[in-house]
Amino acid sequence: MIRYIIPLTWKHFIFVFVSIVIPYAELTAQNVTEIEILNADIIKSDKTLGKGAQKLLGNVQFRHEEATMTCDSAYFYSDSYSMDAFSNVKFEQGDTLFLYGDRVHYEGETKIVQVRSNVKLIDKETVLRTEYLDYNRETEIAYYLNGGVITEGDNKLTSEQGHYYASTEIFHFKDSVVIINPDYTIYSDTIKYNTITSVAYFYGPTEIIGDENYIYCESGWYDTENNISLVDKNAYFKREGRTLVGDTLYYERETGFGKATSNVELHDSAQNIVLKGNHGIYYEVDQRATLTDSALMIQIEDTDSLFIHADTLRSVSDTSTIDDTRILLAYHHVKFYRYDIQGMCDSLAYIEKDSIFHMYGNPVIWSDENQITASKIELKTRDQQLYRLYLRDIALLISQEDSVKYNQIRGKSMTGYFNNNDLVKLDVNGNGQTIYYAEDQGEIIGAIRAECSDLVIYLTDNKVSKVNYLVKPSGKYYPLSMFPDNQYYLDGFSWNDKWRPLNFIDIFTWK
């Protein structure tokens, strides 16, 4: 295909200008509605301002389409459909939007209102004050770039930049945004505020600071009328030494109810305890917290931490004391791990006041090579160290010698004593029974099965080293070859080593 380039002469240019540009300009001008002068005490022409310019003085009033404007004086440019208004300027659109300022420049063609000095925008109960504001009547968007203050009821908001969308009654604020309320203060980088619903939406680092509460997030919203918030993205909540962290946090300030989902953590700095899970609820009035879905408690200690897992973890206030102590409740499939002691049970209660773990429902404790069971177990700590062990009803201590031989001590109840986190002594009270294997040069040569009402067991390096039979002992020594098979185990024997957690990850596995 051969293309011809036709040179554009001045005649062509004039033809294009006359036939296209001028008609378009005339059409545009025809579509602009004239600005009406409704009133002025004095109207006079002023050629120094331009062709067709007029100067208006005293009680000046204009109208353009559905908007009116009043002022003390003005310059009116009929040829350009524009005007400048001065002193006590009031621009009114409909019966809800009002603009005030010392100076206004208005373009009838673009319908842009430029308000300067002592600017005030009022839309229903919302008042914006600034020194520089532009308002586009076509898009119904007003904006300022040099600082503004919004008041609505008890809320006062300041920011460096802001846009107001009159059609939806929504503000967008950016740069050093602050909302001040009698009950809280909000600091943020960017906020969208809906004046109809009184809900503020956060974009970027945000702090919500109350008298007793602190909330941080990088995304979310706050209902300023009902004091309800939902925050996410690095969100956390603080109150009186406790910090709640989660991917999403929901909080009702009036009721004190909170809800957290995904990667939830509750830190108690006073007790050095951390609660974790993927779903949590919190009641501020009585300070109750519940965690489910991979629930985990960590008791932080100097030497090592204690990890406890259960289907449900609950932290409640101890109402039996006048001070603020806590009770931790763990329900179903409870397992715990610390380097020197491990355990499992169906449910557990930890009382901060006396530092005792109460274990219920087939409780088992492992300490070094010893397995300890009872109907109920209480483990007391002191200064983050193991201190006492209380075994209630049908207590049994077992240590393994080989695949079929186990040293066993059974009694109605037992009390264990720790030294440097090692079990060093056991007092057996009532119906004491023992099976103990004798060794010679590391080889098992026989078994002693004995009964005694009360016993004292001494342990060295967590191994039974001495047994004192206190009241009416009776027993028999058997050479190993003569030890009856039906005498190998005491009543209630059950070796559960396969369920023992060897690290804190294992506590999430249940049988």
Q: 298-331: per-residue pLDDT in tens?
A: 988 776 789 999 999 998 887 776 666 788 899 9
pLDDT of residue 323: 67
Yes or no: say if 352 and 365 are a contact pair by the CB < 8 Å rule: no
- Percentage of residues in the chain having pLDDT higher than 90: 63
Work out the average pLDDT over 7-36: 49
Q: Which two tokens stand for residue 276?
A: 């974790």
3-state class (DSSP) for residue 411? strand
- Percentage of residues in the chain having pLDDT higher than 70: 93
pLDDT of residue 16: 37
- Nearest CA to 372 among 363, 359, 380, 381? 363
Yes or no: say if 507 and 307 are a contact pair by the CB < 8 Å rule: yes
pLDDT of residue 6: 36
Q: Which residue has the higher pLDDT, 328 or 41?
A: 41
Residue 157, C-beta contacts closer than 8 angstroms, at least 6 positions apart: 149, 150, 151, 171, 173, 177, 178, 179, 180, 191, 193
Phi then psi for residue 49, to 5 deg, are -90, -15
Segments making up each domain of the chain, as ranges: 33-126
Q: Global pTM?
A: 0.76
Residues β-bridged to residue 99: 91, 121
3-state class (DSSP) for residue 81? coil
Report d(CA 305, CA 307) in Å as an integer. 6
Yes or no: say if 412 and 394 are a contact pair by the CB < 8 Å rule: yes
User: Would you say residue 199 has pLDDT above 50?
Assistant: yes
Work out the average pLDDT over 431-440: 90
Q: Which residue has the higher pLDDT, 257 or 23?
A: 257
For the chain, first and last CA: distance in Å?
Answer: 83
pLDDT in tens, 405-421: 999 999 999 999 999 88
Report d(CA 295, CA 450) in Å as an integer. 44
Burial class (CB in 10 A: 0-12, 13-18, 19+), 460: exposed
Residue 181, C-beta contacts closer than 8 angstroms, at least 6 positions apart: 154, 155, 156, 224
pLDDT of residue 511: 67
The identity of residue 14, as a single letter, is: I
Report d(CA 168, CA 214) in Å as an integer. 31
Specify the DSSP class assigned to residue 220: E
Report d(CA 317, CA 287) in Å as an integer. 6
Yes or no: say if 406 and 400 are a contact pair by the CB < 8 Å rule: yes
pLDDT of residue 288: 85
User: Would you say residue 354 has pLDDT above 50?
Assistant: yes
What's the per-residue H, E or C state across 320-389?
CCCCCCEEEEEEEEEEEEECCEEEEEEEEEEECCCCEEEEECCCEEEECCEEEECCEEEEEEECCEEEEE
What mean pLDDT is reported for the chain?
Answer: 88
What element of type H or E holds 16?
A: helix 10-16
Q: How confident is the model at residue 397 (pLDDT cuts 50, 70, 90)?
A: very high
User: Would you say residue 17 has pLDDT above 80?
Assistant: no
Residue 225, C-beta contacts closer than 8 angstroms, at least 6 positions apart: 197, 198
Yes or no: say if 83 and 62 are a contact pair by the CB < 8 Å rule: yes
User: Would you say residue 211 has pLDDT above 80?
Assistant: yes
pLDDT of residue 239: 82
Tally Cβ neighbours within 10 Å of residue 235.
Answer: 23
As a dihedral over the C-alpha atoms of residue 296, residue 299, residue 302, residue 304, rounded to 10 degrees, the angle is -40
Yes or no: say if 408 and 493 are a contact pair by the CB < 8 Å rule: yes
User: Would you say residue 3 has pLDDT above 70?
Assistant: no
33-126 belongs to CATH 2.40.170.20: no
pLDDT in tens, 153-176: 888 999 999 999 999 999 999 999
pLDDT of residue 2: 36
